[in-house]
Structure 1
Amino acid sequence: MVDAVTNNATARISSGSSMLASNFETFLSLLTAQLKNQDPLSPVDSNQFTAQLTQMAGVEQQLLTNDLLKGLLAAQQGSGLSGAANYIGRDATAVWSATKFTTEDKATWSYELATNAGTAKLQVLDGAGKVVWEGDAPDKTEGVHDFTWDGSSTTGAPAQDGKVYTLKVVAKTTSGQTVDAQVLTRGRIGGVEMYDGQPYLTIGNSILPLSSVIALEEAAQQNLNS
């Protein structure tokens, strides 16, 4: 998507530059012809001539601006993957709720509560948005908490290995007011991939956009040695 938008913008700039360049050449030709054929007894008004020169300078400035924009777009396209690669090996926290379930690693998320909650429910949803498991959150206090889903379901059908599931948290105070909450993905960044021109990071069984990352830290020593 991002790549398509960038390519479209580049094409529009190039098209605009060609039109401006053509108009610029035509303008110069007309101005030169006007100066050559003007009546010596009634020369072009100086104010009018100044205005024409100003228009010509404006067209030239627009051409330079278009060249600069194309350069910036090209640099943006080329730096996405290499820039994101600098994050490999670092511990990250992202606002992201989707992860792949495996029988070996299960499915792991974190959730954050803005304040202490009277009740807090967690829901695991499948790819169609259907709730396949629901239960009480293991911790209802303010802060970040971890949760691992073993694949069991309230419908009786076990989780499918390799399928993507998402987590949802619903929390309320003892008086029934909604508690602000969000689902997080935390872990060490193991790789970087590009999708539609946008860099995505691999954290455990999750692949998430770089834009979803809200915190980065140096990887813990024990993780680096493992």
Structure 2
Amino acid sequence: MATLDTSLLSSLNQTSTTPSSAAASAVSASGTEELNDQFMTLLVAQMQNQDPMDPVSNSDLTAQLAQISTVSGIEELNTTLESITTQISSSEALQAASLIDKGVLVAGDAVLVGNATSTPFGIELEGAVDDARVEVLAADGSVVKTFELGALDAGIHGFVWDGLLEDGSQAGDGAYQLAVSAERGGEPYSDLQTLSYGVVSGVNQSESGAQLDLGPQLGVVELAAVRQVL
């Protein structure tokens, strides 16, 4: 199983600014220059018309000069952040598109059985445990299969159920629920997450970023929700 490659589009960050962002930068730069000119005009007018008996103090003049420097810096920072945001959005969209028709593990507690095969599942542990157990539950809540996993390290662990029940018979087609329990140092350990399998059938772009369509069972999830690519 291969982990999600977050560096898939690292080369994108080395490309130059796109035409649209370049146009936005030009507009921003023009606005900053105009603001600078207006500020300097007002400052010169103030200096020319100040009271000779009560001139502007050095501290006041320095403060006013610092204001225009601050405004200019903020404009440049905003332009840089817009460029970074654009690059991140493009990177997410392309990375999400590369996952179409691939299987992924995301947070969930379902495992599907069909045609004598079952979908993979996983467990994500924040820390190592001394003993872990997975129970497969039928729709009525009864336990139909138990996996004694023993000690596991921190991280993501993937598993495949052969679809056989405790008595050796084949499980019927449908959705089953996973129940995971673990212990560490003789105490129950709850800092874990069960993971379900889904195939990426499509990609949506939303205000929050790229979203993956995993079908009716798991629905639509954010790209960041993918814990492992299978």
TM-score (norm 1): 0.54
**Partner in structure 1 of residue 81 of structure 2:** 69
* 1:57 counterpart = 2:69: yes
AA paired with 1:68? T
Superposed CA deviations along residues 80-109 of structure 1, whole A, max 9, x for unmatched, are 1213445679886x4532557363344432
In the alignment, is the contact (CA less than 8 A) between 2:36 and 2:68 conserved in 1? yes
CA RMSD, aligned part only? 4.8
**Partner in structure 2 of residue 170 of structure 1:** 181
Change over 3 Å in CA distance of 1:90–1:100 after alignment to 2: closer
Gaps of 5+ in 2: 1-27, 166-170
Change over 3 Å in CA distance of 1:139–1:211 after alignment to 2: same
**Partner in structure 2 of residue 120 of structure 1:** 133
* 1:193 counterpart = 2:206: no
SS in 2 for 1:44: coil
Change over 3 Å in CA distance of 1:40–1:102 after alignment to 2: same
SS in 2 for 1:167: strand
Distance, in Å, in 1 between the alignment partners of 2:35 and 2:172 is 64
Cα deviation for residue 53 of structure 1 reads 0.8
Change over 3 Å in CA distance of 1:123–1:209 after alignment to 2: farther
In the TM superposition, 1:1-226 aligns within 5 A as: 27-39=39-51, 43-86=55-98, 94=105, 96-99=107-110, 101=112, 103-104=114-115, 105-111=117-123, 114-117=128-131, 120-124=133-137, 132-143=141-152, 144=157, 146-148=159-161, 167-172=178-183, 177-179=187-189, 181-185=192-196, 193-194=203-204, 196=206, 197-200=209-212, 209-214=222-227
In the alignment, is the contact (CA less than 8 A) between 1:95 and 1:182 conserved in 2? no
In the alignment, is the contact (CA less than 8 A) between 2:111 and 2:196 conserved in 1? no
Cα deviation for residue 49 of structure 1 reads 1.7
Cα deviation for residue 198 of structure 1 reads 2.9
AA paired with 1:73? T
Gaps of 5+ in 1: 1-16, 153-157, 220-226
SS in 2 for 1:148: coil
Change over 3 Å in CA distance of 1:67–1:49 after alignment to 2: same
Change over 3 Å in CA distance of 1:51–1:133 after alignment to 2: same
Cα deviation for residue 63 of structure 1 reads 1.4
Percent identity of equivalent pairs = 21
In the alignment, is the contact (CA less than 8 A) between 2:212 and 2:222 conserved in 1? yes
Distance, in Å, in 2 between the alignment partners of 1:213 and 1:61 is 38
